A and B are shown apart, each in its own frame.
Chain A
Amino acid sequence: MPEASQKRLLAADDIRRAVARLAHEVLEHNEGVDSLVLVGLRTRGIPLARRLQQRIREFEGADVPLGELDITLYRDDVYHHPPRALSPTSIPVDISDKTVILVDDVLYTGRTIRAALDALIDLGRPRAIQLVCLIDRGHRELPIRPDYVGKNVPTSRHEKVAVRFEEVDGVDEVVLIQPAAVPA
């Protein structure tokens, strides 16, 4: 059987530069760190949010609160999958009247973000929610767009984008995976 082929889209240095730029963009757009809250989506949105927090600390000398959001209970496909394990949601501050920077690794159909918006609004009434993603691979199924993008990657639906972070996967890289059997 033929192996699935992989193509590296971003190496560790590319990720580092993209994160630095994203942090600058967030700061520029919001004119500083006042009332910002970073919220990472499980699983790989969290290390990405943590890196943004670290960059912002280096650039501005200020600590932006960092939360973790598990959106499993808000998914629209609960009945289509075996149950997934739940992780805790922990957001250290009240998000009401804050600008929430929602952070995820890959933006695809937009359904995860839709669920995250519902989950956030159940936790409070933020002044605004902005979206950061490292990779935007297109194929949106909902009217959702990112505010800050690390890299736009044109993909086809049968391809997979894997973002790997040192903290979770032991390596920093983004790869495009071409499945072995390509549907005609």
Chain B
Amino acid sequence: MTLEVLSRPGPIPPAAGSILPARRPRRNVLDLDDFSVAEIEAVLDTATAMKDVLRRPIKKVPTLRGKTLVTLFYEASTRTRVGFEVAAKALGADTVSVAAATSSVTKGESLIDTIRTLQALGADFVVMRHHQAGAPYVVAEEVSASVINAGDGWHAHPTQALLDLFTIRERLGRIGGLRVAIVGDILHSRVARSNLWGLTLMGAEVVLCGPPTLLPVASFCEGLPWKVERTYRLDEALDGADVVMLLRMQLERQTGGLFPSLREYVRTYALTEERLARARPGALVMHPGPMNEGVEIDPRVARGAQSVIEAQVTNGVAVRMALLYLLSGLPA
């Protein structure tokens, strides 16, 4: 038995509610660790209505007319950046996209100066991705625009976690009471970290699985509100899982020596059809993308009936529209 419990449910299970919290609306989305159950439910409910808008012949509403959203990306991205741009445009906002590689950053401009420049140019929302954990927190202190973290180092990727929660709730009807296996390079994964917060807050059990060197230490899960386990055996993680969330083997973040070889990783951890059979019938297969097909996931599973990987991308637009809408209101 290698299954090890890292975190146990608190005395009171998180209560599900669907009303907006009475406190002042939030300004920034930096991680999910400051979200309440009610706030997450509000985001998911709003995203359902936004998905409706995306199905109409005219996929545009004038809600954020005259507002400007700037995407500032210090790391590569397709899904997240385009997801935010499509979401902002569907709500009638204008979007400006800044890639650090082609901006004054290459001339040595600091992050703070870059962000002040964007503010001076009229940004109402700044969506940023940075290789340093915590960078969006620093930026949020500096500007009056709403800052949305689109991934900071190994730390957090809240909008990915929200779209994963939305996809799970949409497909399985609930989140609480489900068992979710997160498989792969947990240590380097901001997606796993934000999902841990979101899933346990909503009352789902999480089992983390990967090579021992890529699993976090037990203290990583301290303070999480629901049960978390870890194992380095994939079969143990898959047993009874309602959702299998795969992570990309982040070859660019490997500092070396954490796993013997890619071939061994594939042999031990790649999700194949045979292995997936151990999970619950109809279990969802999720992946935040981009996939290394043939590494963490077999191409047949990625395109199989249980895969919701494309739905995750589409839902990403609706969830980001919901967040932008919920960030736009003024306090009462």
Stretch at the interface among B52-60, B139-147, B197-205, B277-285: B52-60
User: Are B62 and A73 in touch, CB under 8 angstroms?
Assistant: yes
User: Are A79 and B330 in touch, CB under 8 angstroms?
Assistant: yes
Residue among B45, B48, B91, B330 with most chain A CB within 10 A: B330
- Chain B interface residue count, CB cutoff 8 Å, equals 28
User: Are B332 and A74 in touch, CB under 8 angstroms?
Assistant: no
A9 to B297, alpha carbons, bound, how many Å?
67
User: Are B330 and A87 in touch, CB under 8 angstroms?
Assistant: no
Determine the chain A residues whose CB is within 8 A of the CB of B328 once the complex forms: 78-79, 83
Task: Say if the beta carbon of A81 comes within 8 Å of chain B.
Answer: yes
A101 to chain B, nearest CB (A): 21
Residue among A72, A80, A82, A85 with most chain B CB within 10 A: A82
With A87-B49, A122-B58 known as contacts, the answer to whether A78 contacts B329 (CB < 8 A) is yes
Q: Which of A74, A81, A88, A124 contacts B63 (CB 8 A)?
A: A74
User: Are A88 and B49 in touch, CB under 8 angstroms?
Assistant: yes
A88 to B52, alpha carbons, bound, how many Å?
7
A89 to B24, alpha carbons, bound, how many Å?
27
With A70-B49, A88-B49 known as contacts, the answer to whether A82 contacts B331 (CB < 8 A) is yes
Chain A residues 97 to 133 lying within 8 A of chain B, measured CB to CB, are: 118-119, 122-124
A23 to B155, alpha carbons, bound, how many Å?
60
Contact with B along A62-84 (1 / 0, CB 8 A): 00000000101111001111111
Determine the chain B residues whose CB is within 8 A of the CB of A85 once the complex forms: 19-20, 42, 45-46
Task: Say if the beta carbon of A86 comes within 8 Å of chain B.
Answer: yes
A83 to B331, alpha carbons, bound, how many Å?
9
Residue among B46, B58, B62 with most chain A CB within 10 A: B62
Chain A residues 153 to 169 lying within 8 A of chain B, measured CB to CB, are: none
User: Are A88 and B48 in touch, CB under 8 angstroms?
Assistant: yes
User: Are A73 and B20 in touch, CB under 8 angstroms?
Assistant: no
Smallest CB-CB separation from B47: which chain A residue? A86
B323 to chain A, nearest CB (A): 10
Contact with A along B159-202 (1 / 0, CB 8 A): 00000000000000000000000000000000000000000000
Smallest CB-CB separation from B326: which chain A residue? A83
User: Are B61 and A83 in touch, CB under 8 angstroms?
Assistant: no
A77 to chain B, nearest CB (A): 10
In the A-B complex, list the 6 residue pairs whose CB atoms are closest, starting with the nearest: A86-B49, A83-B329, A73-B61, A73-B63, A82-B329, A122-B58
Chain A residues in the interface with B (C-beta under 8 A): 70, 72-75, 78-89, 118-119, 122-124
Offer 9 A-B interface pairs, CB within 8 angstroms, sorted by A: A73-B62, A78-B64, A79-B330, A80-B330, A82-B330, A83-B328, A85-B45, A122-B60, A123-B58
Given contacts A73-B53, A74-B63, A82-B25, 13 further A-B contacts (CB under 8 A): A78-B63, A79-B328, A81-B332, A82-B329, A85-B19, A85-B20, A86-B46, A87-B49, A88-B48, A88-B52, A119-B61, A122-B61, A123-B56
